[in-house]
Structure 1
């Protein structure tokens, strides 16, 4: 089941007047192991009690993930094929990316 569908059920049960504990028990009895955790149920129950209308995730601030585009992955791959002894630090300097992001691309 999709997490938006779980949120829909949680919203319905909150509007019915159930507590997060009752909601978690209901979800466990219906969905078993695939039910969301109590922390998730408690969070969304509180959101819906504060009149949250959206079931989806809100946009978050921060930079978009541009470092792992298909183009960057192909370029890093080509750099490794050209020189198999190249260091992660050297790739990071050439591509102007962090070493962690380059390691993520290489893995």
Structure 2
């Protein structure tokens, strides 16, 4: 199961009022081969409690991707 579908299931558990333990138990029972870890579910619940209801994968902080351009190629060949 892809990450987006799993985020939707976690959101479903959250909206149904299940706590993280009950959500993990339900997800493990029905989706054993693809269920996420306890910390992933807790992190998702934290985001949901703060009002972030989007289930799409957002941008992540950290090192930006480098763009391959002619200028960058010329710099690397010098």
What interval of TM-score do these two structures reach, taking the shorter chain for normalisation? 0.7 to 0.9
Write out aligned runs for 1:1-107 (5 A).
1-61=1-61, 62-66=63-67, 69=68, 95=76
Which stretches in structure 2 are left out of the alignment for 5+ residues? none
**TM-score, with length taken from structure 1:** 0.58
**Equivalents in 2 of 1:65, 1:36: separation in Å?**
30
**Equivalents in 1 of 2:64, 2:10: separation in Å?**
31
CA RMSD of superposed structures (Å): 2.2
Which stretches in structure 1 are left out of the alignment for 5+ residues? 76-93, 97-107
**Equivalents in 2 of 1:55, 1:48: separation in Å?**
10
**TM-score, with length taken from structure 2:** 0.77
Q: Give the superposition deviation at 1:33.
A: 2.8
**Equivalents in 2 of 1:60, 1:40: separation in Å?**
15
Looking at CA atoms only, which structure, 1 or 2, has the larger radius of gyration?
Answer: 1
- Between stretches 55-64 and 26-35, larger displacement belongs to 55-64
More helix by share: 1
